[in-house]
Homo-oligomer: A and B are copies of this chain.
Amino acid sequence: MSAPAQLTAVLEAGGPELSRQLHRTEARLSEVAEGHGAELARHASGTLAAGGKRLRPVLVFLSGGAADGLLPAAVAVELLHMATLVHDDVLDQAALRRGRATVFAGGGRRAATATGDLLFSRAFAELAATGQEAAVSALSTASSALARGELMQRADAWSDHVPPERYLERCELKTASLFSEACRLGALLGEAGAGAEAALAGFGRRIGLAFQILDDVLDVSGPVERTGKQRGADLLDGTVTLPLIVARARDSELRAMDLRSLVTEPAQAAAVCDRIAMSGALGVAREEALHQVAEAKAALSGVELPERRRRALNLLADGVVERYA
């Protein structure tokens, strides 16, 4: 099932309440983009309007139910996610994202760095308005983790010595933490029963891990026309992912090669991706992602939830690993 189809199933399961909440999220995101100066409006409106799956707000709403207090959290997690995308585009010197010119392409490095910082600030401003210390702490936990994950990724670039556990720790920081805190925010500000917070946060963490592992599989496997990115981008910037770790453990020639000289230009990347695929490493990584999804669903089974929300969350978990399958 493709990603949009999978998301459609989640939205259907979530019902009209979820659709209303997502509409209000879009409206508030537009307000934020337009309410903080002409420069932000010019730079950020495109990014905000370009959409995306709004997975993190969906997690907030499905974890929290129909409570009014959820909107700031949903907006905050999406703003934080966008801030990191805008900064990533500066670092990657990316011209396009989701088919639109990036802030970097339109305004340059300085404007894009400042736009990311501003979206970041507004994320905290949204949550501050809830007056809930635990909510602001959850967001700062996630945003610290994102930055730590990036630092770890840089520290491990082109390294021969990244064990799978360290890879998973990095995925946890750079991706799973925001998924986990989105669920926690839903639980904190919403209608989740007592004790549900830890279980929902655990659910979010597991699907975040699965999401990142599958992203790393798709970087090797493509198809390019679905992912929108060339294959082997991780190889080119030295990011050591699970498929590469597993392939090198299985293929002694790949293991003997120096990572930094292995792929120095895009033309080489596809060939190395094919070699990784031939080792069977993609299957192993997919299995790991499926294992995380199974654990996520198990974490959910102990939570008291209305059937509609449980079904939507389970569909969302499945969707994470069924992208482009």
Q: A residues bordering B, Cβ < 8 Å?
A: 36-40, 43, 84, 87, 90-91, 107-111, 113-115, 117-118, 120-122, 124-125, 127-131, 133, 136-137, 139-141, 143-144, 146-148, 150-155
Contact = CB atoms under 8 A, between A and B. Distances in A.
B110 A148 contact: no
Copies of this chain: 2
Contacts of A144: 36, 118, 121-122, 125
A136 B128 contact: yes
A113 B139 contact: no
Nearest to A38: B155
Contacts of A151: 37, 39-40, 43, 111, 114-115, 118
Contact of A148 (B37, B107, B140): B37
A114 B137 CA distance: 19
A129 B124 contact: no
For A107, A140, A153, the residue with the greatest tally of chain B CB atoms inside 10 Å of its CB is A140
A84 B147 CA distance: 15
Given A114-B147, A115-B147, 10 more contacts: A36-B148, A38-B155, A39-B154, A87-B113, A87-B117, A121-B140, A124-B143, A125-B141, A127-B136, A131-B133
Nearest to A130: B133
Given A91-B113, A113-B113, A147 B121 contact: yes
* 4 closest cross-chain pairs (CB), A and B: A118-B147, A39-B151, A128-B136, A114-B150
Contacts of A131: 133
A150 B110 contact: yes
B118 A140 contact: no
13 contacts: A37-B148, A39-B148, A43-B151, A84-B117, A110-B154, A113-B150, A120-B143, A121-B147, A124-B124, A124-B139, A124-B140, A124-B143, A128-B140
